[in-house]
Each structure stands twice: as structure tokens, then as C-alpha cells.
């Protein structure tokens, strides 16, 4: 067996080299930006009214003027107008162009308007208040977004604001998720007493989809000839293959030998960890293969501890390490790294992790009770309240 840190180093030494692709911005959430995004005009493109109220020349207020005759009303989306008399005002709505001849906006709460005379009630008026000045946020051709960021809703706002219907992002590897086992049936089929439904495949697909990726799903029986034949086809045109099940030491665990017979170089098999000890990893010149233990919690943990960071690093993203504070004493005796299921709570700015170990690597129902895994190091039995450990979250 190798250590968790050694397994991590080996995996991250075999990164995927992504291509680029253009996609609609509505499908860009979670994807990695692969081009600089520049402002196509000043932002904002005009002196923008930031509050509903009246627009005035500040000089008039400074000179003691407090009653302003309303010349008109300007709404957002209307062409810019000009104030005719510097002792008058124009009612303006949020988002409207600041009228020519005005430089200050006084909100409606600070004026009273009777018979088209706006009387200013507030004393502390400042020049330029409630005006979002042209080019305050960015000038035309300024870089708004640099390559390498993960696109979130805030970035989609910027993409839309500069007229980008499509955006260039790093492409995900063409992927396959392969479940194995005679005991597994499709989720729409009623299982017999000795069968269970294929949940791992959909778990992995959901996790990839959340990152902006996709994968084709396959299922293989515990038949060496079928596994050899179908894996050979799957390996032809895919860069990422994730298998779940068939990797331990049972008489029907054919996956490791099948992969090696098909030319996949084994880089390790078995990691000193719980859950997920039988984890297998290998490569070819074109593919990376993760063969995960079939127990649901093992599959789940291995994706978030190894595969997700591998994908992000392949695309140039170095996730910031997360840590949490153990909230209750915990004991674990085997000489293995232990990934403890925890319920995380922010308590006065401290992320506290409450142990919820569940019933083992087959207890997938327990995952709904927790938010992530606390990585407890090997070589230690007692873990005390207040100690800090790496935290692997899987909920937002």
C-alpha cells in the first residue's frame, strides 16, 4: 500500500491537457475560462443615476438654492436630456443617464415635491452623490476577467454585459463512468432480493456535471471476457475512465488484471486509507484511469479527494486547502488515514466538524447527514476536540 500523500502526488503527476471550446454563456457555470474578457465600452457607459430622485447642478445647492422647479422626468432607457435652467431640476430614475448640466442626484426621501417644486429637506448634500460615473468600473478594452478562473454567476453577469453570447473555456476530457457487478440493476428496474440499484454511476455523473463536465455511462457484469471486450472499446476514444467496483481481492474482481492486459500501466493499487483502500490508478499515453472501490462511500470519497482536485489542477486551478476544527473527541485505531464523515457548522467564524461516521463504506444513506470528510492522519489513535485537520467538503 502507498500513503494518501504518495497517491496524490502520483495522480497529479499525470495531468490531463485540456483543449479549448466555445460554449454558450448559459452553460458556462463551473467551467474554466480560457480567454481574456475585455470591456467593449466604458463601464458604466455613461454617468448613471444610482438613486430615484432629482438631478441638479451642485453649484446651485452650494449657492443656497433649495427650491428647484421640475423641468421633466427621465427614466432608465430614455435618451439623455439637458437641463435648461441651472436653478431647476429633472426627476430621474435609477439607471437613467444623468442629464447634461447636472452632476448630483438627491434621493426622493430627501425632497418634497409640491406643484412641480422640489424642496430639498436634507442639509448634507455632496457633489456627485448618487451618480455612478462613466468608466468608474472599467474603461473600454480593460481586461475584466483573466483566463484560469472558475466561472460563477458573477462572471456570467460580466460576460453578458460585454455582449458575449459565447465564451471560450477549457474542455473536459471525454469521459466514461463504468460500474461493474452482477448484483447491480438499472435504477428504473425493480431489484430482486439479491440485487441493488446502480447508484455509484449516477453519483459520479452528478459530481462531474456539477463541475461542468459530462460522461457516458456503462455497466459491465462480473465476466472477464466481457470486461476485456467492452473496456477495450471504451478505451479507444476517451481520455478519462472512472470505474467503480471489481478492484479488490475477490475471485470476481477482474478489473485490475483486465486493465493491465489492455495496456493500462498500473501506478498503484491500494492506498492506506479508510474508506477506499482498494483504490487502483493507471495510465496509458492517452488515458487516465481511476478504478474505485464499489462501496458507495468509498467511491464518493475518492472522487472528491482525488479526481476533482486532479481535474481542477489539469485546468490550471489550484484549490485553496480547507481546514476544520474537530468538535468532539474521536478514536480510530488502524494504521490508516481515516476520512471521517462530519457535519460542518460555522460557529462564530470557526468551522467546526462534528463526527458522524455512519455504518461504514456501504452506508450511503449517512451521506445525507454530513457535509464532507475530515482527513485524519495515520499513526494516531486519539483525536482531540479543537485539533485542526484538512477538510474535504462536498456541499456548497
Taking only the tens place, the pLDDT of each residue in 78-114 is 999 999 999 999 999 999 999 999 999 999 999 999 9
Homologous superfamily of 21-40+147-170 in CATH?
Molybdopterin biosynthesis moea protein, domain 2 (3.90.105.10)
Q: Where do you find CATH 3.40.980.10 in the chain? A: 4-18+172-314
The arithmetic mean of pLDDT across residues 327-345, rounded, is 95
Q: Look at 138 and 249; give whichever has higher pLDDT.
A: 138
Confidence of residue 220 (pLDDT cuts 50, 70, 90): very high
Check residue 364 and give its pLDDT.
Answer: 84
| pLDDT confidence of residue 272 | 97
Mean pLDDT of all residues in 183-211:
91
Q: Among 241, 237, 240, 213, which residue's Cα sits nearest to residue 227?
A: 241
Per-residue pLDDT, 137: 96
* pLDDT band for position 134 (cuts 50, 70, 90): very high
Q: Which three cell numbers stand for residue 200?
A: 455509484
Please determine, for residue 71, whether its predicted confidence score (pLDDT) is greater than 80: yes
Model confidence pLDDT, tens digit, residues 284-324: 999 999 999 999 999 999 999 999 999 999 999 988 899 99
**Mean pLDDT within 354-364:** 87
- Please, which residues have CB within 8 angstroms of residue 18's CB and are 6 or more apart in sequence? 32, 170, 171, 172, 173, 314, 315
Residue 359 has pLDDT above 90, yes or no: no
Position 292 scores a pLDDT of 97
Task: Determine the average pLDDT of the residues in 55-72.
Answer: 97
CB 257 within 8 A of CB 246: no
Residue 360 confidence (pLDDT) above 90: no
Q: How many CA atoms lie within 13 A of 53 on its CB side?
A: 25
Task: Identify the pLDDT of residue 358.
Answer: 87
Q: Where on the phi/psi map is residue 268: left (φ > 0), alpha (ψ -120 to 50), or beta?
A: beta
CATH 2.40.340.10 in the chain is located at 323-393
Say yes or no to pLDDT of 341 above 80.
yes
CA atoms within 13 A on the CB side of 364: 12
- Give domain 323-393's CATH number out of 2.40.340.10, 3.40.50.300, 1.20.1730.10, 3.40.50.720: 2.40.340.10
| Cis-peptide into 44, omega within 30 deg | yes
Are 339 and 273 contacting, i.e. CB atoms less than 8 angstroms apart?
Answer: yes
pLDDT of residue 242: 98
pLDDT tens figures, 150-182: 999 999 999 999 999 999 999 999 999 999 999
Strands 337-347 and 273-274: parallel
Average predicted confidence (pLDDT) for the chain: 95
Nearest to 54 by CA among 95, 115, 104: 104
CA gap 164, 325 in Å, rounded: 43
Q: Tell me, what's the pLDDT at 79?
A: 97
Least confident interval from 19-28, 89-98, 345-354, 361-370: 361-370
The ranges of the chain annotated as CATH 3.90.105.10 are 21-40+147-170
Is the pLDDT at 47 greater than 90? The verdict is: yes
% of the chain with per-residue pLDDT over 90: 90
Residue 103: predicted pLDDT? 98
CATH: 3.30.390.10, 3.40.50.970, 3.40.980.10, 1.10.357.10. Which one for 4-18+172-314?
3.40.980.10
Helices (H), the chain: 4-12, 58-62, 153-161, 200-210, 224-236, 255-261, 296-302, 308-314
Quick one: 382 exposed, middle or buried, by C-beta within 10 A (0-12, 13-18, 19+)? exposed
CATH of 48-132, one of 1.10.150.50, 3.40.50.1950, 2.170.260.10, 2.170.190.11: 2.170.190.11
Output phi, psi for 247, to 5 deg. Answer: -115, 5
- Structure confidence at residue 297 (pLDDT): 93
Instruction: Give the pLDDT score at 320.
Output: 87
> What is the per-residue pLDDT for 362?
75
Amino acid at each position: 500500500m502507498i500513503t494518501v500523500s504518495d497517491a496524490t502526488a502520483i495522480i497529479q503527476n499525470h495531468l490531463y491537457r485540456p483543449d479549448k471550446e466555445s460554449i454558450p454563456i448559459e452553460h458556462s457555470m463551473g467551467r474554466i475560462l480560457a480567454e481574456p474578457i475585455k470591456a467593449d465600452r466604458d463601464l458604466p457607459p455613461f454617468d448613471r443615476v444610482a438613486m430615484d430622485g432629482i438631478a441638479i447642478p451642485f453649484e446651485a445647492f452650494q449657492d443656497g438654492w433649495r427650491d428647484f422647479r421640475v423641468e421633466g422626468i427621465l427614466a432608465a432607457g430614455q435618451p439623455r436630456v439637458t437641463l435648461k435652467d441651472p436653478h431647476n431640476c429633472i426627476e430621474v430614475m435609477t439607471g437613467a443617464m444623468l442629464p447634461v448640466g447636472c452632476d448630483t442626484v438627491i434621493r426622493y426621501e430627501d425632497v418634497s415635491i409640491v406643484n412641480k417644486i422640489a424642496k430639498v429637506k436634507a442639509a448634507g448634500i455632496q457633489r456627485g452623490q448618487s451618480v455612478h460615473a462613466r468608466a468608474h468600473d472599467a474603461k473600454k478594452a480593460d481586461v475584466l476577467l483573466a483566463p484560469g478562473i472558475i466561472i460563477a454567476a458573477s462572471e456570467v453577469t460580466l460576460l453578458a454585459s460585454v455582449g458575449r453570447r459565447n465564451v471560450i473555456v477549457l474542455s473536459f476530457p471525454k469521459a466514461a463512468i463504468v460500474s461493474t457487478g452482477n448484483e447491480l440493476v438499472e435504477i428504473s428496474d425493480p431489484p430482486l432480493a439479491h440485487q441493488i440499484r446502480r447508484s455509484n454511476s449516477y453519483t459520479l455523473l452528478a459530481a462531474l456535471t456539477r463541475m461542468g463536465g459530462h460522461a457516458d455511462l456503462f455497466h459491465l457484469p462480473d465476466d472477464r471476457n466481457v470486461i476485456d471486450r467492452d473496456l477495450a472499446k471504451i478505451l479507444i476514444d476517451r481520455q478519462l475512465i472512472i470505474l467503480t467496483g471489481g478492484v479488490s481481492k475477490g475471485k470476481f474482481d477482474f478489473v485490475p488484471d483486465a486493465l493491465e492486459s489492455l495496456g493500462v500501466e498500473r501506478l498503484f493499487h491500494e492506498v492506506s486509507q479508510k474508506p477506499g483502500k482498494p483504490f487502483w490508478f493507471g495510465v496509458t499515453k492517452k488515458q487516465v484511469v481511476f478504478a474505485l472501490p464499489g462501496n458507495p462511500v468509498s467511491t464518493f470519497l475518492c472522487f472528491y479527494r482525488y479526481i476533482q482536485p486532479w481535474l481542477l489542477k489539469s485546468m490550471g486551478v489550484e484549490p485553496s486547502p480547507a481546514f476544520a476544527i474537530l468538535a468532539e473527541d474521536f478514536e480510530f485505531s488502524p494504521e490508516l488515514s481515516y476520512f471521517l464523515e462530519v457535519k460542518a457548522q460555522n460557529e462564530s467564524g470557526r468551522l467546526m466538524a462534528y463526527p458522524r461516521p455512519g455504518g461504514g463504506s456501504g452506508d450511503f444513506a449517512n451521506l445525507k447527514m454530513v457535509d464532507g470528510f475530515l482527513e485524519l492522519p495515520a499513526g494516531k489513535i486519539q483525536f482531540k476536540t479543537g485539533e485542526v485537520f484538512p477538510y474535504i467538503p462536498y456541499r456548497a
